[in-house]
Amino acid sequence: MPLVTTTASSTRCLKNPRRTDGRRSILLAGLLLVWALWMALFPAAATAQGRPGGATITQMRLEQADDGVYLSAAVQFELPVLVEDVLDKGIAIYFVAEAEVFQERWYWTDRKVAQVARHMRLAYQPLTRRWRLNVSPVPITGAASFGISLNQNFDSLGDALEAIKRIGRLRLGDAAEIGDEPLHQVTFRFRLDTSQLPRPFQIGVVGQADWNIAAERTARLPLEKQR
């Protein structure tokens, strides 16, 4: 009887290459659509020659009033041309100012005794041709947030920016909470908050130096009596 040799073969199960390629194509098309939308609205983004971003904190002052302790600060920055283009097209931009007060302890890490934030929304009103600034202690993310915000209207962008740069009367708390030390360690931060831009624009501003408007300063400040 002749010898018969048999062989067994097996084929490894592979993912459907057509399905994988299809998902990649959809993802790529989505990214290209977002980029095309950004470039169509803001063609200057590719070759923007706007002024550099950044900010400088030029003043910090701690004051005690009858109803608590307040921090005042001044920030200096120039709004880049690209950001002005966004405002002119009716898209609001947001700024955040934050302050913290620490109690120094030689035997342990410093203890945070106060923290406060101020959120500012700046938008152009085409119907009235005026600039509206909303100021709130919480993020301005919806209709409910506008109900607890302070509204101010300005005739020019420059006037609105001057109001943003002057951070006045940030209430840190009662005097008993802050303490009676001769000097208080205060950290103040200011930034342009790009996380509240519409989602397509958040992708577009990645890597754009014009949107990097931020500053931070820590100083030991005396508690002055309010005049």
* Mean pLDDT on 64-76: 95
Of residues 135 and 42, more confidence is placed in 135
What spatial distance separates the first Cα and last Cα of the chain, rounded to whole Å? 117
Residue 189's nearest CA partner among 51, 64, 97 is 97
Structure tokens given for 24: 């990649």
74-98 pLDDT per residue, tens: 999 999 888 898 899 889 999 999 9
pLDDT at 52 over 90: no
225: pLDDT confidence band, cut at 50, 70 and 90?
confident
Average pLDDT over residues 105-110: 84
Model pLDDT for residues 108-126, shown as the tens digit of each residue: 888 999 999 999 999 999 9
Single out the residue of 47, 83, 66, 46 nearest to residue 160, CA to CA.
83
10 pLDDT higher than 90: no
Tokens 């005690």 correspond to 64
pTM of the model: 0.73
Q: So what's the pLDDT on residue 203?
A: 62
The domain spans of the chain are: 16-47, 48-225
The dihedrals phi and psi of 214, each to the nearest 5 degrees, come to -160, 150
Q: What is the structure's pLDDT at 136?
A: 93
Task: Give the residue from 99, 102, 72 showing the smallest Cα distance to 168.
Answer: 72
The model's pLDDT over 132-143, given as tens digits with 9 standing for 90+, comes to: 999 999 998 876
Question: What sign results for the dihedral spanned by CA atoms 21, 23, 24, 29?
Answer: positive
